[in-house]
Each structure stands twice: as C-alpha cells, then as structure tokens.
C-alpha cells in the first residue's frame, strides 16, 4: 500500500514537471521574435511607344514577346489629314515655283516686241508733231498764224514727247523683267512653301513608330484599325538590360541596407540554391498612410518602412519583371 502511494506521488511529480517544461517551451517559442523575411520584386525599365500624329493603326509589324532593336519600325499609322496636307503643300509649291520662275524670266518675247512697237509708234508721232510745230513756229514769226494756233501745236508736240518717254519706260521694263522686290517676294514664297513641305514630311515620318531601345515588347494596347490620339501609348517595351529590385524594409533593420552596400538574395523562380549579389542604390521613405507600425506597447517606437532599390552587380540570366527575391541573412 505504501509502495502504491509512493508510485502515485512520483507519477504526479513527473506529470507536473512535464507540464512545467511544456509551458516553458511554449513561452519561449511565443516570446521569441519571428525571423523576419525581407521580400522584394524585380523590375525592368519600360518604354511607352507613342506618336505625334493621330490616326488609325494600319499595321503592327511585331507582336507581344518579340525582341526588337532600337530604330526598328513597330507600327504604321494611317492619317488622312497628313495625306491631305501633303497634297495641298505640293500644289502650293508648284504655284510658288511658277511665280518665281516668271519673275526670273521676265516678260515674254511677245510682250517685249509689243512694247518696242509702241515705243517706235510714239517716236514717229513725236517726229510728226515736232515738224508741225517748227512749221507753225516759222509761220507765226511771219505773222501768218495766230499765237493760239502756235500754242495748240506746241502742246501737241509736248504731249507726243511725253508719250515717247512713257513708251520707252514700258519697253525698258519689259527688257529688264520683274523688279528686284518682286523677285525677292517670289523667292521668299517658295521658301515658305518649302517649310510647309518639310513640316508635312516630318508629320508623315511620324506615321511610322520606331523602337526607342533594344528590348522586348511586353504589351500592345490598341487593336489594328483602332483610332489612336496624339501621344497615346501604342506599345510598351521592356529593356531587359536595365533591371532592379525593390524591397520594403523597416527602419529598425535599415542600417543593413545603406547605399553602396551589398546584399545577397535568392530568386525562387530561378532556383533556390543560387545566390545573387545586389548593390543598394537608393533608399526612400514610403508613404506613412500604409507603412506605420506602432511598437509602443512594448516600450518601443513607431517604425516606418522604406523603399530600398538594388541593382544586380552582374546580369542575372533568366530574370523577368515580377519575380520574387528573398534577402539572405
């Protein structure tokens, strides 16, 4: 009987010790802070392809996922407004050139000949009136004709002389061609229309959208035949040579992420065994509306979160935007 009591007491002590050990282990596990996992995401530089000329998408020369080179033609835009302006500019250029050529060439041969004949006619008329005036003048000196008759003939002679001068000026103008001012104005008009043609040519070139870099087409926004406005994005191109990672880091562990320092990460999508070195290039505080965490109940302080930007020290083969990166301790 005594031995049974001693066995029961021993069993109770063992059970009590087991409970104490279990409670202690639970307390230790509960109070021990969890190991924080710093997780980030991969990004790549993205370029939006857009045009200056509104119109409809006539044709895509590449599809999503295709690799392109800088300067490759990606999209052709059809713009009837550009075609109309081109036709107007070409017609205006022809007209301006015709006016300019006319100013350079001067009057036609027929015009020059006509002016010359009018000049000769005026000379003949002047000669007749000169002889008449001299004859009447002699008669007037002899008292045969009146003074009024002499004055009338003299006036006719002077009028004929003025007609000769006017005809001579017309003939000389026909020979000389257009005035220098008219030639300069015609030449300036040609230059003005040439400027319009250059503007139309620039607008026509904007119908062909080119790749701004070497990269991969990640997204195409409109469908063929859809209308796109001026500056509207048509394609997105990823430059896979310009990649980086973004991590959200609490400020209590921020000293481990100083600018210029190196960290090591694993990228699960590329295999858990390989380690990739990164260098911290930029640190920026995130908005407080989503990154504030209070620790004052533990006698601590409010902790903010920072954006930490890191770039690969060496290119990472197979890296794609959106892949997860885990920082190693």
Looking at the chain, how many residues does it have? 329
Task: Give the chain's mean pLDDT.
Answer: 79
- Containing H/E element for 284? strand 271-285
Give the closest residue to 159 by CA, choosing from 122, 187, 196: 122
pLDDT per position as a tens digit, 183-205: 677 667 767 777 777 777 777 88
Quote the tokens at residue 62.
Answer: 């590449």
Task: Enter the DSSP assignment of 113.
Answer: H
Neighbours of 155 (CB within 10 A): 12
Residues 98 and 85: beta-carbon distance below 8 Å: no
129, exposed or middle or buried, with CB in 10 Å at 0-12, 13-18, 19+? buried
Q: pLDDT digits over 293-325, tens only?
A: 544 445 556 678 899 999 999 999 999 999 999
Closest CA to 243 of 211, 262, 220, 216: 216
Judged by average pLDDT, the poorest of 140-144, 224-228, 275-279 is 140-144
Whole-angstrom Cα distance, residue 300 to residue 294?
8
Q: Is residue 84 within 8 Å of residue 58, measured between CB atoms?
A: no
pLDDT digits (tens, 9 = 90+) for 77-110: 888 777 777 777 777 777 767 666 666 555 566 6
CA 29 – CA 272 distance, rounded (Å): 27
Beta strands at 233-250 and 215-220: parallel, antiparallel or unpaired: antiparallel
CB 258 within 8 A of CB 70: no
- Token pair for residue 26? 């639970």
Residue whose pair of structure tokens reads 């004929």 in the numeric block: 160
Structure tokens at 180: 């220098």
Instruction: Indicate the SS3 state at residue 122.
Output: helix
Measured CA to CA, the distance from residue 325 to residue 103 in angstroms comes to 76
Query: Would you put residue 79 in left (φ > 0), alpha (ψ -120 to 50) or beta?
Result: beta
pTM score > 0.85 for this model? Answer: no
What per-residue confidence (pLDDT) applies to 296? 47
Cβ partners under 8 Å of residue 142, min gap 6: none
Q: Give pLDDT, residue 295.
A: 47
């Amino acid at each position: 009987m005594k031995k049974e009591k001693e066995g029961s007491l021993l069993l109770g002590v063992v059970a009590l010790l087991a409970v104490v050990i279990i409670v202690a282990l639970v307390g230790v596990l509960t109070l021990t802070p969890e190991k924080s996992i710093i997780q980030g995401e991969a990004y790549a530089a993205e370029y939006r392809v857009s045009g200056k000329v509104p119109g409809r998408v006539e044709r895509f020369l590449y599809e999503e996922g295709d690799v392109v080179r800088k300067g490759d033609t990606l999209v052709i835009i059809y713009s009837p407004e550009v075609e109309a302006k081109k036709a107007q500019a070409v017609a205006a250029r022809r007209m301006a050139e015709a006016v300019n050529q006319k100013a350079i060439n001067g009057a036609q041969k027929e015009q020059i000949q006509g002016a010359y004949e009018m000049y000769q006619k005026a000379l003949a008329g002047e000669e007749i009136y000169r002889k008449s005036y001299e004859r009447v003048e002699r008669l007037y000196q002899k008292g045969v004709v009146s003074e009024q008759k002499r004055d009338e003939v003299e006036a006719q002679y002077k009028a004929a002389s003025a007609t000769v001068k006017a005809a001579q000026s017309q003939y000389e103008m026909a020979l000389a061609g257009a005035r220098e001012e008219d030639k300069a104005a015609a030449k300036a008009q040609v230059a003005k229309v040439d400027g319009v043609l250059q503007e139309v040519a620039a607008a026509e070139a904007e119908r062909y959208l080119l790749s701004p870099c070497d990269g991969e087409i990640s997204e195409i926004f409109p469908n063929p035949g859809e209308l796109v406005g001026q500056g509207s994005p048509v394609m997105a191109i990823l430059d896979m040579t310009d990649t980086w990672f973004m991590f959200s880091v609490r400020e209590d562990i921020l000293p481990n992420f100083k600018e210029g320092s190196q960290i090591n990460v694993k990228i699960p999508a590329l295999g858990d065994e390989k380690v990739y070195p990164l260098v911290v290039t930029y640190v920026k505080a995130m908005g407080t509306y989503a990154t504030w965490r209070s620790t004052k109940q533990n006698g601590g302080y409010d902790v903010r979160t920072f954006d930490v930007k890191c770039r690969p020290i060496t290119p990472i083969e197979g890296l794609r935007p959106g892949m997860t990166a885990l920082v190693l301790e």
